[in-house]
Amino acid sequence: MSGKLEDESKLYDSPPYILEIEDLWVKAGDNLILKGLDLHVGIGKLHVIFGPNGSGKSTLLGTIMGLPQFQVIKGDIRFKGKSIL
Pairs from 34-37 (Cβ < 8 Å, separation ≥ 24): 34/59, 34/60, 34/63, 36/75, 37/75
Q: Report the number of distinct structural domains present in the chain.
A: 1
Query: pLDDT digits over 7-64, tens only?
Result: 555 555 556 899 999 999 999 999 999 999 999 999 988 999 999 999 999 999 999 9
In a domain, 27, yes or no: yes
Residue 15: partners with Cβ closer than 8 Å, 6 or more residues away: 9, 81
* pLDDT score at 49: 95
* pLDDT score at 16: 85
In a domain, 2, yes or no: no
* pLDDT score at 8: 57
In a domain, 49, yes or no: yes
Indicate the pTM of the whole model.
0.78
Task: Write out the residue range of the structural domain in which residue 69 sits.
Answer: 12-83
In a domain, 5, yes or no: no
In a domain, 61, yes or no: yes
* pLDDT score at 6: 59
